[in-house]
Amino acid sequence: MEYRLQFREVWNNFDLLLWGAAYSLILCILAGIVGLALGIIAAETRRTGPGWARMLVAAYVEAIRNTPFIVQLFFLFFGLSSAGLRLSPEAAAAIALTVNIGAYFCEIVRAGLEAIPRGQIEAARALGLRDWRIFRAIVLPPALSQAYPALTSQFVLVFLGSAVISQISAPDLTFQAQFLQSRTFRAFEIYFVVTGMYVAMALGFKLLFAQAERRLFPWKGVR
């Protein structure tokens, strides 16, 4: 049986795909920003915090890194709902993405923090700087500089993996594609276009991150 490509229905409903792509971008960018803050706090807590706090952070990181993201998502959306705490699909998706990326960012940032020479910290203390100022001005910038490539790669992976939030009806790009496919039955054409959109967004992030690195860490280009 001959299959004839028909992209007309895709282009006629392309606004749905654009809306879904915008939702995916905004959600993942916000989750990335909050997740980075969470990761920095968790990394420093795991490195210098009291014993009980280090144990809590370690348990959080190991729980997230050793379970599938879709299980974490279903736990928040279906599990908590059965326990009496109902979250909307959008809220569950946002929390799941933030918690997930925060755990990975924690370990990436921690590796960067531990790579900072101890002598720099001791020298700053000898100058009378407070611990918070030492962390903010002396430790964190070079740590983030070293961790930046891994952080950006992890963000892109999480962005691509965020497609599973469509399983709880969060209106991202994949959900819109599924909705459009159920109306038009043009699965090949729809997912061909959606694949191209994901590739374009992922490559766009990589180019944007490369440009941002030159501005955020200009000293890395000095030889």
How far is Cα 81 from Cα 15, in angstroms, rounded to an integer?
32
What was the pLDDT predicted at 116? 86
How far is Cα 109 from Cα 142, in angstroms, rounded to an integer?
11
Q: What is the DSSP letter of 165?
A: G
The confidence band for 117, taking pLDDT boundaries of 50, 70 and 90, is confident
Burial of 191 (0-12, 13-18, 19+ CB in 10 A): middle
Query: Model-level pTM?
Result: 0.92
How far is Cα 22 from Cα 93, in angstroms, rounded to an integer?
15
How much is the average pLDDT of 74-99? 96
The confidence band for 124, taking pLDDT boundaries of 50, 70 and 90, is confident
Of residues 188, 144, 200, 153, the one with CA closest to residue 24: 200
How much is the average pLDDT of 22-47? 97
Q: What's at 154, amino acid-wise? A: Q
Give the pLDDT confidence of 153-191 residue by residue, as tens digits: 999 999 999 999 999 999 999 999 999 999 999 999 999
Count of residues for the chain? 223
What was the pLDDT predicted at 2? 73
How far is Cα 28 from Cα 17, in angstroms, rounded to an integer?
16
How far is Cα 140 from Cα 147, in angstroms, rounded to an integer?
10
What token pair was written down for 63? 């729980």
Kindly give, in sequence order, each residue whose CB lies less than 8 Å from that of residue 73, ignoring residues fewer than 6 positions away.
Answer: 92, 93, 96, 164, 165, 167, 168
Q: Regarding predicted confidence, which is higher, 109 or 136? A: 109
* Domains recognised in the chain with CATH numbers: 8-217 (1.10.3720.10)
Q: What's at 120, amino acid-wise? A: Q
Indicate whether 30 pLDDT > 50. Answer: yes
How much is the average pLDDT of 65-93? 96
Residue percentage of the chain with pLDDT more than 70? 97
